[in-house]
């Protein structure tokens, strides 16, 4: 192209006389004229060439866009700012709130944000929190204040809401029976005139700003005990504030940007969104020396319980030796709030389309999560599996780091679990002690990749089988006689009280009093003795030194075990064959430990603590340790109670608790 | 008069065309300078200013990433090619170099690699980059490690970054570790809203296709006074790069297939798949140790292409090897690995086929392929009659893929390969398969002379 540059430079002389002379010359000199003609043609040609080149070049650039353009997701980087309504200052929201016996709804600017007319569900006080600047729903809760303790939860929730948020209340069916004075006072402090006098089967709606004005309140009294108050419909207007007023002014750091994004979207997480002194979202626990599990991936299995997930991740990220890069949270369903929590902590989260229903849905979610974990971390030999309703002990990773080599070397092991099914406040004592058990406890455990890839994954229960994954894993076809290592004092704590197989009563009876280790850096005792053969030697040593208890006494009585400390005692119970747990179940029941199925046994032997003494229970004659029984001792037999006595409602399937 | 007119017209025409030309040249230049002047860099030649710009950009970039503790290594084919020539000298010397020999050579990009697990993409890096004057672009896409699973979402991963400063750009390719102990990088696809003129994307050395690589050993060297990590053996890296193209399994189609024909989840099927997988792993290990290039063939290839898994009723594992890669050590090596020879048909010159006995009746078949001008074929032999068969395939090249946690070759033109073998109805599972008549590409190829039978039909 360049050689053409000099040409244009020569052109712009345009004197008329010169032109005329030139024309004249041209007319007279054929050769010159011809030359000029060819020159002109050449120019034309060049123009054409340049033209073509330009077209080609533009084409090429356009072609670079390549075939693939199907996906059209926005680039994440452009999306850092929270999506918001275009907010004009002082916009007004129309709010409609309806309260009645069988139906409640809330509409904001014509959009229904809550509608509940399901029968036998959603009883109590519904609370909705709106962002005062955008009008977005930040939290939605229902507190069944007809039942005990729910009002406490409501108070807790209301106290966590930031000042300035808009609160909407409405009652469905009944909301006053267990609404105590504390809760009534909190509602009063929000500006409600009616709440302190709310009574049996009254209908009530209320809209107000936390720490500010009241936008409206309506109430319908129940005329008689047997009837409900008339439905009430409250229509009111709420004035929005500017975004700046609704946000805190934290220093601009990477962490605070995450915090800001989170806090403008959701509510009910308390001090994490406090303007003055927000609680940290990065914990930097001490690193572990020689951490063997630093590069082990951690899969957190979650559903739609974002508050649980928040609590769980806090404890997990505070545990010593945690490696946030290895954590992936798997959310069963396209729920936004759990994902917000995951992003708050800067972790990675993956959403999973729910498949099937109930237990099978959980089971499919587990499978997808485990497969994804090993795909994402192809180097990993193990994966730590956690659930969203667990607290994680400060020495969780230290415990695993000290024991994980066993799982690698001892083929007779099935898993390492942080949970001792029988480790209650009154039956667990020694944080440095580990056991081998035949049952898989779950609730914070380590899975070997080869076990998953070669054995479990190919035959994992299909979606149409409504099985619990953990029950399935406990089946002999899967477990094949292998055992799990567990600590005496659990390294996880199960706090969830809502869940598929979980309710308040069940939790109170079986989980609340579970012991949970809070001591950091526990040095585990004698880890090598957990290997298959070494463990037998260890048990025989223990039984050899154990003092045989007085079998004439009632084993349920406290006096059955002497008032000593640090001794080892043994008792023998009747166990006709391997699967005969009649006496054990009765004993477990009266000791107030897990009795819904058999857990924590090793060859007909159970190990626990009573009054700070190690307490061994041997099933005779099924256990190979029966030989240690002195001939003078008759194994204790406890009869199961007659059927009608077992009237206590207990969930049918004592599965572990999941989403 | 006519003549004058003609001349005037011509003059006028050339005048307008000249003006037009001027305008176009101007526009062309303007258009190109928007593209960062890259095309003109050729014209401007190797002015020293340009050269040192490249070096400065690289230096700035290395400073940026080291300040954020991000370990990158150089994979630029142009520079590695130059480095490779002087590799001994570079390895030994650590002192300052007299001239800028490598980072100053004319080019549009310098390419670096980054291992995903060694860093965490934080905004801080990009803020610093912007402060230093870099413009940057990130290309994200779906995570292929989760592609095989339906219904997972929420994960898009960064695949490429481009940092541009002045007239030079740094292309940072993110490598991911995948099951099968290899590294993978994605293809570079621009999304709709992206700036297509950010850099001349077509000239990038990485990104046209996804690629698969071994994990490289790295070496810290000083090149042109810049400390930088490079693959320990640049020439083998460049060799690997030249045929690194990777094909992802067609997970979506495989899911559709399983919708139509539900997977066999019986214990037998599970067991067979497990055995086939371990046999394939053993075979891959053995052949890789010998340096024999192989690919998934016949039923195993069909299983990969159609359902991303071993076909449970296929009963054997089939591999293809070009006859030029044949080595006499193959048989002893397999025997050493615990796989005795079951039969050997044909000879190196014609229709060679080896069969090894795996665990519990699972058989490993290795077919040797013969290249002709316009096609490729392998042979078959019927033991009892000495009949020969020929299976014809269109020409193909080899690509990497991942199959049962293994990085293996498959024909890049898989569809043609599978269709040649199984006909247009390859999507329909067939349980009874006769290797002599069922394949759609089989040709009768005469009979082995009887006196050769002892040699070309060996059964153990």
d(CA A57, CA A73): 28
The CATH classification number of B51-244 equals 3.30.460
Residues in B touching A64 (Cβ below 8 Å): 190, 196, 200-202
A338 and A222 assigned to the same domain = no
Is the distance from CB of B351 to CB of B380 less than 8 angstroms?
yes
- Neighbouring C-beta atoms of residue B349, cutoff 10 Å: 8
Is the distance from CB of A231 to CB of A102 less than 8 angstroms?
no
What residue of A is the nearest CA neighbor of B1? A27
State yes or no: pLDDT of B363 exceeds 70.
yes
Quick one: pLDDT at residue B30?
Answer: 61
- Nearest-Cα distance to chain A for B62, in Å, is 23
Give chain B's mean pLDDT.
88
Residues in A touching B180 (Cβ below 8 Å): 378
How is residue A29 written in tokens? 């000199």
CA distances from A272 to A258, A265, A366, B64, B450 (A): 11, 13, 30, 33, 87
pLDDT digits (tens, 9 = 90+) for A293-313: 999 999 999 999 999 999 999
How is residue B376 written in tokens? 């490729």
- Give chain A's domain count: 3
- Give catalytic residues of A, as residue numbers: 389, 470
How is residue A527 written in tokens? 């880890």
Token look-up 């989260």 returns A349
A516 and A565 assigned to the same domain = no
Token look-up 């190109």 returns B32
Residues in A touching B154 (Cβ below 8 Å): 331, 339, 349-351
Q: What is the DSSP letter of A247?
A: S
A307 and A223 assigned to the same domain = no
d(CA A27, CA A115): 94
How is residue B383 written in tokens? 């033991």
Give chain A's mean pLDDT.
86
A8 → closest Cβ in B22, B179, B193: B22
d(CA A347, CA B32): 43
d(CA B458, CA B352): 11
Q: Is residue A636 situated within a structural domain? A: no
A483 and A538 assigned to the same domain = no
Instruction: Say how many residues make up chain A.
Output: 659
Q: Does B31 touch chain A (CB under 8 A)?
A: yes
A314 and A441 assigned to the same domain = yes
Cβ–Cβ of B140/A75 closer than 8 Å? yes
A424 and A547 assigned to the same domain = no
- Domains of chain B, residue spans: 51-244, 251-459
A399 and A521 assigned to the same domain = yes
- Neighbouring C-beta atoms of residue B100, cutoff 10 Å: 17
Among the residue ranges A633-637, B8-12, B70-74, B343-347, the one predicted with the least confidence is B8-12
Residue A136: is the preceding peptide bond cis (ω within 30°)? no
State yes or no: pLDDT of A113 exceeds 60.
yes
Cβ–Cβ of B189/A68 closer than 8 Å? yes
Cβ–Cβ of A73/B191 closer than 8 Å? yes
Measure CA of the first residue to CA of the last residue in chain B; give whole Å: 102
A454 → closest Cβ in B181, B193, B274: B274
A384 and A512 assigned to the same domain = yes
Domain boundary among A245, A278, A309: A245
Q: Is residue A444 situated within a structural domain? A: yes
Q: What is the mean pLDDT of residues A543-550?
A: 94
Q: Is residue A285 situated within a structural domain? A: no
Residues in A touching B121 (Cβ below 8 Å): none
Q: Is residue A371 situated within a structural domain? A: yes
Cβ–Cβ of A350/B181 closer than 8 Å? no
Q: Where are the beta strands (DSSP E) in A276-433?
A: 298-302, 327-332, 348-352, 382-387, 390-392, 413-417
A254 → closest Cβ in B123, B152, B405: B123
Is the distance from CB of A350 to CB of A372 less than 8 angstroms?
yes
B21 → closest Cβ in A2, A43, A458: A43
CA neighbours within 13 Å on the CB side: how many for A117? 6
State yes or no: pLDDT of A373 exceeds 80.
yes
DSSP string, A147-168: STTHHHHHHHHHHHSPTT-EEE
Question: How much helix, strand and coil, in percent to the nearest 5, is found in chain B?
Answer: 40, 30, 35
State yes or no: pLDDT of B365 exceeds 60.
yes
Q: What is the mean pLDDT of residues A247-272?
A: 89
- Beta strand A327-332 with A298-302: parallel, antiparallel or unpaired? parallel
CA B108 to chain CA centroid, nearest Å: 23
Q: What is the DSSP letter of B308?
A: S
CA neighbours within 13 Å on the CB side: how many for A607? 24
Residues in B touching A62 (Cβ below 8 Å): 196
A402 and A426 assigned to the same domain = yes
Write out the H or E segment, with its range, that includes residue B346: strand B341-347
In which band, very low, low, confident or very high, does the pLDDT at A78 lie, cut at 50, 70 and 90? Answer: very low
Domain that includes residue A172, residue range: 92-245
Quick one: pLDDT at residue A283?
Answer: 92
Higher pLDDT, A403 or A6: A403
d(CA A302, CA B225): 51
- Nearest-Cα distance to chain A for B193, in Å, is 8
pLDDT digits (tens, 9 = 90+) for A312-365: 999 999 999 999 999 999 999 888 999 999 999 999 999 998 887 778 889 999
State yes or no: pLDDT of A28 exceeds 80.
no
User: Where does residue A244 rank: exposed (0-12), middle (13-18), buried (19+ CB within 10 A)?
Assistant: exposed
CATH number at residue A317: 3.90.550.10
d(CA B65, CA A47): 48
Q: Is residue A420 situated within a structural domain? A: yes
A110 and A159 assigned to the same domain = yes
d(CA A364, CA A467): 10
Cβ–Cβ of B154/A349 closer than 8 Å? yes
A589 and A467 assigned to the same domain = no
d(CA A470, CA A445): 12
Long-range contact pairs involving A266-269 (C-beta distance under 8 Å, separation at least 24): A266/A138, A266/A139, A266/A306, A266/A337, A266/A340, A267/A129, A267/A138, A267/A139, A267/A160, A267/A161, A267/A162, A267/A165, A268/A129, A268/A138, A268/A139, A268/A141, A268/A157, A268/A160, A268/A161, A268/A307, A269/A160, A269/A307, A269/A310
Is the distance from CB of A380 to CB of B180 less than 8 angstroms?
no
Is the distance from CB of A99 to CB of A170 less than 8 angstroms?
yes
Q: What is the mean pLDDT of residues A470-487?
A: 94
Q: Is residue A286 situated within a structural domain? A: no
A46 → closest Cβ in B21, B35, B191: B21
- Neighbouring C-beta atoms of residue A52, cutoff 10 Å: 10
d(CA A152, CA A371): 41
Quick one: pLDDT at residue A510?
Answer: 87
- Nearest-Cα distance to chain B for A376, in Å, is 6
Cβ–Cβ of A368/B149 closer than 8 Å? yes
d(CA A37, CA A196): 104
Write out the H or E segment, with its range, that includes residue A463: none
Quote the crossing angle between the two packed helices A16-28 and A30-63, to the nearest 10°: 110
Q: Does B274 touch chain A (CB under 8 A)?
A: yes
d(CA A342, CA A69): 30
Nearest CA to B44 out of B55, B32, B56 is that of: B32
What residue of A is the nearest CA neighbor of B154? A350
Quick one: pLDDT at residue B4?
Answer: 62
Higher pLDDT, B220 or A71: B220
- Beta strand A568-575 with A547-548: parallel, antiparallel or unpaired? parallel
CA A593 to chain CA centroid, nearest Å: 27
State yes or no: pLDDT of A76 exceeds 50.
no
Q: Does B68 touch chain A (CB under 8 A)?
A: no
Is the distance from CB of A352 to CB of A330 less than 8 angstroms?
yes
Domain boundary among A527, A548, A583: A527
d(CA A101, CA A658): 32
Token look-up 């075979």 returns B283
- Neighbouring C-beta atoms of residue B337, cutoff 10 Å: 15
Q: What is the mean pLDDT of residues A227-241?
A: 92
What is chain B's Cα-based Rg? 28
d(CA B35, CA B108): 11
A200 and A332 assigned to the same domain = no
Residue A352 pairs in a beta bridge with A332, B152
Nearest CA to B103 out of B206, B204, B205, B226 is that of: B226
Domain boundary among A475, A510, A527: A527
Top mean pLDDT of A55-59, A232-236, A639-643, B36-40 is at: A232-236
Write out the H or E segment, with its range, that includes residue A348: strand A348-352
Nearest CA to A543 out of A598, A451, A605 is that of: A605
Q: Is residue A447 situated within a structural domain? A: yes
Cβ–Cβ of A54/B179 closer than 8 Å? no
Quick one: pLDDT at residue A23?
Answer: 64
Is the distance from CB of A600 to CB of A657 less than 8 angstroms?
no
- Neighbouring C-beta atoms of residue A546, cutoff 10 Å: 19
Quick one: pLDDT at residue A38?
Answer: 80
CA distances from B41 to A81, B33, B72, B105 (A): 39, 10, 27, 12
How is residue A263 written in tokens? 């806090």
Q: What is the mean pLDDT of residues B306-333?
A: 93
Residue A126 pairs in a beta bridge with A142, A170
State yes or no: pLDDT of B134 exceeds 80.
yes
Interface test with B, best of A32, A39, A40, A361 (most B CBs within 10 A): A40
């Amino acid at each position: 192209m360049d050689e053409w540059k000099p040409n244009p430079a020569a052109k712009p002389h345009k004197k008329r006389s010169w032109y005329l002379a030139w024309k004249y010359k041209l007319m007279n000199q054929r050769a010159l004229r011809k030359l000029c003609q060819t020159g002109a043609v050449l120019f034309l040609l060049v123009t054409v060439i340049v033209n073509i080149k330009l077209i080609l070049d533009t084409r090429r650039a356009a072609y670079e866009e390549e075939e693939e353009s199907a996906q059209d997701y926005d680039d994440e980087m452009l999306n850092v700012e929270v999506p918001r309504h275009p907010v004009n200052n002082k916009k007004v929201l129309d709010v409609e709130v309806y309260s009645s016996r069988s139906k409640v709804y809330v509409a904001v600017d014509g959009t229904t944000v809550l509608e509940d007319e399901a029968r036998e569900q959603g009883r109590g006080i519904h609370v909705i929190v709106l962002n005062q600047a955008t009008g977005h729903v930040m939290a939605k809760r229902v507190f069944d204040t007809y039942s005990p303790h729910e009002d406490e939860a409501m108070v807790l929730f209301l106290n966590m809401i930031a000042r300035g948020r808009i609160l909407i209340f409405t009652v469905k069916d009944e909301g006053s029976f267990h609404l105590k004075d504390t809760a009534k006072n909190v509602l009063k402090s929000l500006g409600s005139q009616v709440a302190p006098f709310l009574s049996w089967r009254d209908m009530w709606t209320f809209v107000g700003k936390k720490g500010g004005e009241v936008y409206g309140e309506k109430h319908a009294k129940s005329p008689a005990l047997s009837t409900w108050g008339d439905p009430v419909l409250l229509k009111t207007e709420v004035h929005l504030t500017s975004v700046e007023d609704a946000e805190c002014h934290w220093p601009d750091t990477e962490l605070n940007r995450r915090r800001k994004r989170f806090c403008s979207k959701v509510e009910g997480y308390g001090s994490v969104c406090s303007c003055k002194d927000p609680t940290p979202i990065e914990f930097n626990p001490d690193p572990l020396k020689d951490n063997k599990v630093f590069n082990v991936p951690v899969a957190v299995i979650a559903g739609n319980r974002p508050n649980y997930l928040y609590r769980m991740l806090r404890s997990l990220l505070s545990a010593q030796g945690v490696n946030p890069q290895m954590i992936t949270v798997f959310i069963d369903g396209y729920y936004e709030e759990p994902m917000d929590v995951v992003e708050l902590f800067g972790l990675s989260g993956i959403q999973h389309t729910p498949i099937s229903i109930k237990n099978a849905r959980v089971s499919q979610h587990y499978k997808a999560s485990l497969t994804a974990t090993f795909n994402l971390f192809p180097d990993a030999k193990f994966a730590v599996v956690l659930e969203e309703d667990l607290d994680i002990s400060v020495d969780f990773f230290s415990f695993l780091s000290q024991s994980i080599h066993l799982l690698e070397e001892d083929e007779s092991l099935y898993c390492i679990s942080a949970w001792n099914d029988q480790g209650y406040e009154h039956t667990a004592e020694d944080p440095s002690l580990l056991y081998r058990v035949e049952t898989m406890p779950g609730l914070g455990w380590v899975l070997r990749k080869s076990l998953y890839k070669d054995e479990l994954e190919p035959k994992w229960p299909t979606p149409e089988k409504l099985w619990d994954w953990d029950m399935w894993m406990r089946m002999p076809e899967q477990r094949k006689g292998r055992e799990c290592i567990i600590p005496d004092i659990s390294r996880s704590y199960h706090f969830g009280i809502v869940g598929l197989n979980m309710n308040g009563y069940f939790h109170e009876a079986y989980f609340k009093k579970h012991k949970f280790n809070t001591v950091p850096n526990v040095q585990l005792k004698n880890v090598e003795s957990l290997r298959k053969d070494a463990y037998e030697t260890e048990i025989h040593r223990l039984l050899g030194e154990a003092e045989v208890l007085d079998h004439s006494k009632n084993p349920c009585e406290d006096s059955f075990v002497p008032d000593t400390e640090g001794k080892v005692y043994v008792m023998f119970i009747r166990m006709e064959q391997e699967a005969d747990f009649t006496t054990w179940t009765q004993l477990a029941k009266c000791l107030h430990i897990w009795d819904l199925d058999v857990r924590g046994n090793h060859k007909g032997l159970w190990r626990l603590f009573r009054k700070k003494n190690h307490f061994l229970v041997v099933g005779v004659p099924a256990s190979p340790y029966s030989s240690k029984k002195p001939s003078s001792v008759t194994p204790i037999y406890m009869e199961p109670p007659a059927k009608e006595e077992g009237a206590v409602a207990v969930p049918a399937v004592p599965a572990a608790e999941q989403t | 008069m006519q003549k004058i007119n003609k001349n005037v017209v011509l003059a006028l025409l050339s005048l307008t065309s000249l003006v037009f030309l001027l305008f176009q040249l101007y526009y062309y230049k303007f258009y190109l300078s928007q593209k960062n002047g890259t095309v003109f860099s050729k014209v401007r030649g190797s002015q020293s200013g340009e050269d040192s710009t490249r070096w400065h950009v690289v230096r700035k970039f290395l400073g940026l990433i080291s300040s954020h503790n991000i370990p990158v290594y150089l994979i630029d084919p142009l520079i590695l090619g130059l480095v490779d020539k002087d590799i001994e000298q570079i390895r030994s010397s650590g002192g300052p170099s007299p001239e800028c020999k490598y980072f100053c050579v004319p080019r549009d990009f310098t390419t670096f690699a980054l291992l995903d697990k060694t860093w965490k993409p934080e905004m801080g890096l990009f803020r610093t980059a912007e402060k230093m004057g870099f413009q940057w672009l990130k290309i994200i896409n779906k995570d292929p490690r989760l592609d095989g699973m339906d219904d997972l979402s929420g994960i898009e991963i960064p695949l490429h970054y481009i940092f541009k400063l002045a007239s030079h750009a740094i292309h940072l390719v993110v490598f991911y570790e995948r099951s099968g102990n290899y590294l993978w990088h994605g293809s570079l696809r621009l999304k709709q809203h992206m700036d297509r003129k950010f850099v001349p994307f077509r000239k990038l050395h990485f990104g046209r296709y996804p690629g698969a690589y071994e994990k490289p050993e790295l070496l810290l060297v000083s090149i042109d006074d810049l400390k930088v990590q490079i693959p320990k053996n640049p020439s083998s890296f460049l060799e690997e790069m030249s045929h690194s193209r990777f094909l992802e399994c067609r997970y979506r189609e495989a899911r559709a297939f399983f919708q139509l024909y539900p997977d066999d989840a019986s214990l037998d099927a599970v067991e067979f798949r497990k055995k086939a997988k371990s046999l394939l792993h053993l075979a891959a290990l053995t052949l890789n140790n010998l340096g024999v290039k192989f690919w998934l063939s016949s039923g195993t290839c069909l299983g990969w292409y159609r359902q991303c898994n071993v076909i449970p009723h296929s009963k054997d594992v089939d591999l293809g090897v070009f006859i030029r890669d044949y080595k006499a050590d193959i048989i002893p090596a397999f025997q050493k690995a615990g796989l005795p020879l079951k039969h050997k048909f044909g000879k190196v010159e014609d229709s060679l086929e080896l069969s090894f006995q795996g665990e519990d009746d699972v058989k490993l078949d290795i077919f040797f392929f013969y290249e002709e001008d316009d096609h490729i074929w392998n042979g078959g032999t019927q033991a009892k009659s000495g009949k020969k068969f020929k299976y014809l395939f269109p020409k193909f090249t080899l690509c990497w893929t991942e199959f049962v946690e293994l990085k293996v070759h498959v024909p890049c033109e898989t569809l043609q390969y599978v269709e040649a073998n199984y006909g247009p109805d390859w999507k329909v599972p067939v349980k009874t398969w006769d290797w002599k008549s069922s394949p759609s590409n089989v040709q009768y190829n005469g009979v082995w002379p009887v006196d050769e039978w002892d040699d070309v039909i060996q059964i153990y």
